[in-house]
Amino acid sequence: MHPFRRAVEARDLDAMVAELDPDVRLYSPVAFKPFAGAEAVRELFVNLFEVFEGFHYVDELSGEGSHALIFRASVNGKEIEGLDHMVFGEDGKVTEFTVMLRPLSGLAAMGEAMAPRVGHLAKDVPSKA
């Protein structure tokens, strides 16, 4: 089991953030701009814990330099399935975190629930070249 998954399942924010590079970028399915930096991502995770109902991981996929965690949950009564894709730096810390969700009705519920909570965190950040 990946340490990030272990931290999420324990609802241990400090352990979750410890797995992130300080300059991590999180690409959300409901925001046009990434969440940049471990502190912004921490605030995002705090809010996700409040919005997700019945969140649980159902599978893991490993690749060279990346890892994916597949999850299920609900938001305001809408069932969702998602994938957390993590890309690692040389030190093993997560440098990119991309979240994908389905179906559209669940994605819409997620956007409605999260936008007022974390809309201020999505920033313009220079692209990595």
Q: What is the pLDDT of residues 47-68, one digit of tens each?
A: 888 888 999 999 999 988 899 9
Task: Report the length, in residues, of the chain.
Answer: 129
What pTM was computed for the model?
Answer: 0.83
The CATH number assigned to the domain holding 105 equals: 3.10.450.50
Structural domain count of the chain: 1
pLDDT of residue 37: 92
List CB contacts of 109: < 8 A, sequence separation 6 or more.
75, 76, 77, 78, 80
Asked if residue 128 is part of any domain, the answer here is no
Q: How far is CA 75 from CA 29, 53, 54, 69, 112, in A?
A: 14, 6, 9, 18, 10
User: 106 is in which domain, residue-wise?
Assistant: 3-120
Asked if residue 127 is part of any domain, the answer here is no
Q: What is the pLDDT of residues 74-128, one digit of tens each?
A: 888 889 999 999 999 999 999 999 999 998 877 777 777 666 566 655 554 445 5
Angle at 102 between CA 28 and CA 126, to 5 degrees: 15
Asked if residue 115 is part of any domain, the answer here is yes
Which range (32-36, 39-43, 120-124) has the least confidence? 120-124
Mean pLDDT of all residues in 7-21: 94
Task: Please state, for a pLDDT cut of 70, what percent of the chain lies above it.
Answer: 84
- Dist. CA 11–CA 41, nearest whole Å: 15
pLDDT of residue 23: 96
Contact 107, 20 (CB under 8 A): no
Asked if residue 112 is part of any domain, the answer here is yes
Q: Across all residues in the chain, what is the average pLDDT?
A: 85
* H-helix or E-strand spanning residue 116: helix 104-118
